[in-house]
Amino acid sequence: MKFRRRAFVHLAVGAAALPAVPRLSRAQAYPSRPARIVVGFAAGGATDIQARLMGQWLSDRLGQQFIVDNKPGASGNIGTEAVAKAAPDGYTLLQVVTPHAINAALYSNLNFDFLRDIAPVICLARLAYVVVVNPSVPAKTLPEFIAYAKANPGKINYGSAGQGTPQNISCELFKMMAGVDLIHVPYRGGAPAIVDLIGGHLQVIFAPVSEAIEHIRSGKLRPLAVTTAARLDVFPDLPTVADFVPGYEASGFGGIGVPRNTPVDIIDRLNKELNAGLADSKIKTRIVELGGTVLGGSPAEFGTILSEATEKWAKVIKFAGIKAE
């Protein structure tokens, strides 16, 4: 039997359109059951708060629960491995933060490759650190602190949430660029380090804004500068480190990732909804309160941020000789 030319063309066009049909229906059907956002850190911190903020937004918008699943340990590696090995179906998400870009250079025996095994969805925000000192330190500005540190090499202690944490490598970058000698005192978490800074056992911390802001407002800690390239809305009168140490920048980030091979249409759906959330005034205000700058954008843009941060912090870790605890 011979087909007429017009019938053949209609069949060919229909066949070409077939691959798009499952993709479209899959995106419309997603999500059809609850999903989880894995957070590789304990509940209550800025990472956890941001995940819950965006999880609630997704729950309200998509009609299914996006439940936060805290899997703390090994600087986020336990949670990351769980996501890397999860089914790539859009029902397991990862709250991606700065340690994920640090860990590749810090740990030599990981069972996953972060940049290969986690697909970026969106960078929700850039996160800042603030240089805070105990009020007993005789420095009211960052240049005064640099001069004080140079006059007292090896006598000033700085704290962090642990070896290889953002507080640690941010200060090591500062040491390298400002030419000062500070002694690192690692803690198991940021909270005990802040307590010892207030108590006078430490002199300085490059602290997440969310951990330091209330102590700054109460006068228990003195802020000297923020680590981002630009000033923060929450501290409009506070200069940046780069104002005095040209080229310095040490911002973190918070975002969402999924297992590699997750369908592109699901990634695009999540990206679209999360970008819409970042335009909501209540969410924007909360992110700013946590010391963040709302970002958003495409998965590819977040991928660039991750690869550039991984390369940058690997150089600092190598220069400073930082080893995983």
Give the separation between CA 264 and CA 220, rounded to whole angstroms: 48
pLDDT in tens, the chain (325 residues): 444 444 444 444 444 445 544 555 555 699 999 999 999 998 888 889 999 999 999 999 999 999 999 999 899 999 999 999 999 999 999 999 999 999 989 998 999 999 999 999 999 999 999 999 999 999 999 999 999 999 999 999 999 999 999 999 999 999 999 999 999 999 988 889 999 999 999 999 999 998 999 999 999 999 999 999 999 989 999 999 999 999 999 999 999 999 999 999 999 999 999 999 999 999 999 998 888 899 999 999 999 999 999 999 999 999 999 988 6
pLDDT value of position 108: 86
pLDDT value of position 86: 98
Report residue 258: phi and psi, to 5°: -140, 165
Residues contacting residue 315 through CB under 8 Å, at least 6 positions apart: none
pLDDT value of position 19: 56
pLDDT value of position 45: 82
Two tokens at 174?
A: 């500062």
pLDDT value of position 25: 54
Q: Strand (E) positions, 102-209?
A: 118-127, 129-133, 156-160, 182-186, 204-208
Cross-strand partners of 68: 37
Which of 86, 84, 89 is closest to 110 using CA atoms?
Answer: 84
Query: pTM of the entire structure?
Result: 0.86
